[in-house]
Amino acid sequence: MAATSNTPRPLPTAQRGMVAIPGGVFRMGSDRFYPEEAPVRQVRVDPFLMDEAPVTNRDFAAFVAATGYSTLAETPPRPEDYPGVWQAGAAPASIVFDLAQAAKGRTWWVFCDGADWRHPFGPGSSIDALMEHPVVHIAYQDSEAYAHWAGKSLPTEAEWEFAARGGLDGADYAWGDSLAPDGRMMANYWQGPFPHVNELLDGWERTSPVRHFPANGYGLYDVIGNVWEWTADWWSLRGTTPAPKSPCCVPANPRGGLEGSSHESGDALRMPRKVIKGGSHLCASNYCERYRPAARHPQAIDSSTSHIGFRCVVRQAPGMPVSTP
């Protein structure tokens, strides 16, 4: 059941667990890693409030208890959504990382019947011991439904990146330019050659509890690693010409691409894709160095996985009180 306009919502002044992000001008993107992050350009974002951590299983359970909402992963696929590929009797399912398959040299992503936010590793698994971990197996529409119920929104890509940088304009990571300063693990990501050896130097094989690692300069936790996070922007590859650097010409609150051109080239279904940010516990230095504020990746809006979650924002209206935890 989807959330509706009469779904209970908290009062506008309820901002517990959110932190104030001051807004300002920053250098968005990076020229040092993947081409889709370039060019570096100056943009401006207005002040806003952001959840200090990703939405947890406990948070999402409260939403479901209040609304009766069913996620996309819990809903049988409709034939009209997948013309030409739908199979009769298709069961609710989601995508799970399978280390055993990777060890056999096979694809490590498995479309698993019965995997959903309550059963993150498939049937028989549960979240009983994971209530403070980020909720996963969340499709884009699920994150939007939660945000609407909470009286919030999903961040734009620019808002997310500005906040994740924590005031360190141009730094590679949310805490500076060293991934593990003095050997200290600052986030949940894969140590060792992915996907064969995870040295577990950070102590976690899969997701970790939110707030387990240090916050960034704005007081935000888990902006790097743990789980990817949905943003509100449609995917697009960036152009090759940097934005003007003159203060009078800095774009304000930029948005992403267009829905119609966000799908993957050659995709017969033309499934639109949104930008996800932050990397996950599966990012590794030999495979996916996307545990950085500038990193970005496209994700089909109908796909949920065991390593994608989200957090929300509240954009400030004139006179809105700004509070911190």
Please check whether residue 197 is in contact with residue 191, taking contact to mean a CB–CB distance below 8 angstroms.
no
Chain-centre distance for alpha carbon 250 = 26
* pLDDT at residue number 309: 98
Task: Write the CA distances from 164 to 7, 28, 209, 218, 224, integer angstroms.
Answer: 31, 11, 18, 8, 8
Question: Residue written as tokens 């034939």?
Answer: 79
Could you tell me where the beta strands, DSSP code E, fall in 195-254? 228-234
For residue 241, the model assigns a pLDDT of: 42
Radius of gyration of the chain, Cα coordinates, nearest whole angstrom: 19
Query: What pLDDT does 269 receive?
Result: 73
Largest CA distance in the chain: 58
pLDDT of residue 185: 97
* 65: CB partners within 8 A, 6+ apart: none
The residue extents of the domains of the chain are: 23-77+93-318
pLDDT per 10-residue tile (average), the chain, 325 residues? 40 69 96 94 96 98 98 85 59 89 78 96 96 98 98 97 97 97 97 92 97 98 98 83 60 92 79 96 94 97 96 76 42
Q: How far apart are CA 116 and CA 269, in angstroms?
A: 23
Q: Under CATH, to which class is 23-77+93-318 assigned?
A: alpha beta
H or E element at residue 163: helix 157-165
